[in-house]
Amino acid sequence: MYKYLIIAILIMAAASFGTYKALAQKTPSEKVSAEGKVLIVYYSYSGNTKKVAQAIQDKIGGDMFEIKTEGTYPENYNEMVQQAKEEITNNYRPALTTKLENLAQYDVVFIGTPNWWSTITPQLSSFLQAYDLSGKTVIPFITHGGGGVQNTVSDLTAQCKGCKVSDAPWVGYNDRTMGIADWLKGLGFDVK
Ligand SMILES: Cc1cc2nc3c(=O)[nH]c(=O)nc-3n(C[C@H](O)[C@H](O)[C@H](O)COP(=O)(O)O)c2cc1C
């Protein structure tokens, strides 16, 4: 099964490298109000999504919240991706071990996750189940290994009930942050 994931990722990596559209993020149909208080929420297993979260914070400020949960993964990569697949198939929702205080103060919430098996991680699903983000502007940021956005943003949107999800998410290959300042400017933020 792991073999198929690697092959699929390699094919998709080649495809996205060919068009190289990964560098050009979408232009939003609506600008975000730069007045509101910003929260940056993310889950990161191996550090790429964390790096993008930090790059966003470096450029526009805001508070950071790292999603952490119960449960561990095997050190062996094949076993790890297999466990993740089973968790996703079974709609596993691990218990959160970090707690977000005073969500009400934030107007804009960036939400980051790696693409796992074409979708969002169980850890992010647990977060979206636990916290009511309805009415807030949500800006997804996705990191991937070559597959691109796949179902990540649509699944995030479906699980973020009542959220105003931006139509210009960040979709970046692994830990790429090149282009992030222009993306944030395009969304309507004042960038440092
Ligand atoms: C369990 C697992 C499943 C993955 N599935 C995909 C996938 O379906 N498509 C893809 O493009 N990348 C996939 N990747 C690659 C990650 O999305 C990519 O390396 C990401 O940047 C990792 O982020 P992190 O370092 O914040 O955990 C997968 C990685 C893991 C560990």
Average pLDDT over residues 72-87: 98
Residue of the CA atom closest to atom 15 of ligand 1: 145
Position 35 scores a pLDDT of 74
Domains of the chain, start order? 2-24+45-187 (3.40.50.360)
**For residues 103 and 33, is the Cβ–Cβ distance under 8 A?**
no
Position 36 scores a pLDDT of 81
Instruction: Compute the distance from residue 175 Cα to the ligand 1 centre, in Å.
Output: 11
pTM of the model: 0.90
**Which is the closest atom of ligand 1 to the Cα of 117?**
8
Decide: 122 in ligand 1 pocket, CB within 6 A: no
The model's pLDDT over 116-158, given as tens digits with 9 standing for 90+, comes to 999 999 999 999 999 999 999 999 999 999 999 999 999 999 9
Position 31 scores a pLDDT of 84
Average pLDDT over residues 34-41: 88
Instruction: Name which of 139, 112, 130, 147 is nearest 31 in CA terms.
Output: 139
Position 27 scores a pLDDT of 86
The model's pLDDT over 160-171, given as tens digits with 9 standing for 90+, comes to 999 999 999 999
Position 33 scores a pLDDT of 72
Does an H or E element contain 171, and which? strand 170-173
Mean pLDDT score of the chain? 91
Q: What percent of the chain has pLDDT over 70?
A: 87
Please give the sequence-ordered ranges of beta strands (E in DSSP) within 44-144, or none if there are none.
Answer: 63-66, 108-114, 137-144
Burial category of 103 from C-beta neighbours within 10 Å (exposed 0-12, middle 13-18, buried 19 and up): middle
Q: What percent of the chain has pLDDT over 90?
A: 81
